[in-house]
Structure 1
C-alpha cells in the first residue's frame, strides 16, 4: 500500500502561478508532482490540491492525458477504480521541473517584487501576468 499524499505538500501561501515557467495548465505541474511516486486515484489527488474543483481537476487530467504525460487506467469490477499515472514522457519532466522550481526559489524575491509592483500600479493583477 502506498503512503497517502501529504495534504500540506503544496504551501497555500506559495502561489504556483508566481513562477513564469508552467507545465501544462495552472494545476499541471502540481498534478505531475502528486504522481511522481506512483499511480493515484482522483480522490487522492484532491487531498493536496485542496483549491481545485472536481471539474477543473478532471479537465487538467484530460489535458495531461491528451498530451501523453499521464495515462488513465480504469479497473473493471463492481466498484469502478480509476488511477492516473505518469508516462515515461511525463516522468521525463520531473528533472526540468526540479530545475524550474530551484530557479523560482533563487528568484523568489524578485518575482514577488515584480508581481507586487504590477498589482500596485494597476490595482489588480491581469490574467496574462
Structure 2
C-alpha cells in the first residue's frame, strides 16, 4: 500500500483523512499556523512576543491557533507561577520540531518567488 495520496484513507487521533496531505494541512494549514510554528522554531516565546512578531494577526486568531496547535501536539504551553502575573511560554514539541525542515523549505521557496517575481519591502503592511 502506498502512503501518499492515492485514495486510501488515513487516521490520526480518531479523525479520518482522504490522504496524508489532507492530514498535514489540517494540522498546519491555514493562514497562521505555519507562521506561528516558524516564529517558535528557534526559541520559546511568550504570547506578547508572538503578537509583536505577527502584528497583522488578531489576538483572537492567535489565541485560537495556539490552542489548536497545542491540542494537535505541535506546540507546548507552559505556565510559570501560580498567581498573577503568571508567565505563559509557548514552544515547539518534538512533534512540532519535526516540521521545521518543511518550514525551512517553505521559507526558501517563498524567498525565491519574491526574488524572481516580487520585491522585499521595508516597513509596515498597508
**Normalised by the size of structure 1, how large is the TM-score?**
0.61
The answer for the alignment partner of 1:88 in structure 2 is 94
* Residue 107 of structure 1: how far off its partner (Å): 4.5
Give the number of aligned pairs.
92
Cα RMSD, aligned residues only: 2.4
Q: Which has a greater percent of strand?
A: 2
Aligned: 1:64 with 2:69:
yes
Secondary structure (helix, strand or coil) at the match of 1:47 reads helix
C-alpha distance in 2, partners of 1:72/1:28? 15
- What pairs up with 1:110-125 in 2 under 5 angstroms? none
The answer for the alignment partner of 1:126 in structure 2 is none
- What pairs up with 1:1-129 in 2 under 5 angstroms? 23-78=28-83, 79-107=85-113
The answer for the alignment partner of 1:14 in structure 2 is none
The runs of at least 4 consecutive aligned structure 1 residues that moved more than 4 Å come to: 107-112
Unaligned residue ranges in structure 1 (runs of 5+): 1-20, 113-129
C-alpha distance in 1, partners of 2:43/2:113? 30
1:18-42 deviations in whole A, cap 9, x for unaligned?
xxx9633211111111111221110
Unaligned residue ranges in structure 2 (runs of 5+): 1-23, 119-126
Greater relative contact order (CA < 8 Å, ≥ 6 in sequence): 1
**Normalised by the size of structure 2, how large is the TM-score?**
0.62
* 1:68 to 1:111, Cα distance in 2 relative to 1, 3 A: farther
* Residue 84 of structure 1: how far off its partner (Å): 0.6
Q: Bigger CA drift: 23-32 or 51-60?
A: 23-32
